[in-house]
Amino acid sequence: MIPENISTTIFRLNSVLVENINSMNYEKLKNNFGINSAVFEEIKGELIAYFETENLPKLKILETNFDIFKYDSVEGFGIEAKLFTSDNKETELTLHTEFNNNTLRFKLIEVM
């Protein structure tokens, strides 16, 4: 069982990450989550390819589609969060992140 305070922190940080992705503000993503320019371009490319437009909808995560799991072999937690549009339409996109030492790290967004 994951302590409630850790779950809350992880969800909050993932929500902020998604808000930063929505804004497509590279500086915020770099400063807040250590995302480099190559990963930033990968995120943009994945979203543009999925939605087939550069006019991307705003995305969000929901606590009901948010999974935190403890790694067996290393410290920290893995997170999978289903992405929804701001009007609650489910997408086939899943956000993957890692949480360790009070730091959230982006892994990838994939179609699932």
Q: Are 93 and 22 in contact (CB under 8 A)?
A: no
Looking at residue 75, what is its pLDDT?
84
pTM, full prediction: 0.94
73 has pLDDT over 90: no
Q: What is the DSSP letter of 92?
A: E
Percent of the chain with pLDDT over 90: 88
In tens, the pLDDT along 37-71 reads 999 999 999 999 999 999 999 999 999 999 999 98
Domain 4-111 has CATH 3.10.450: yes
Instruction: Give strand pairing partners of 67.
Output: 80
| Residue 88 to residues 10, 61, 65, 93, 106, Cα–Cα distance (Å) | 21, 9, 12, 13, 23
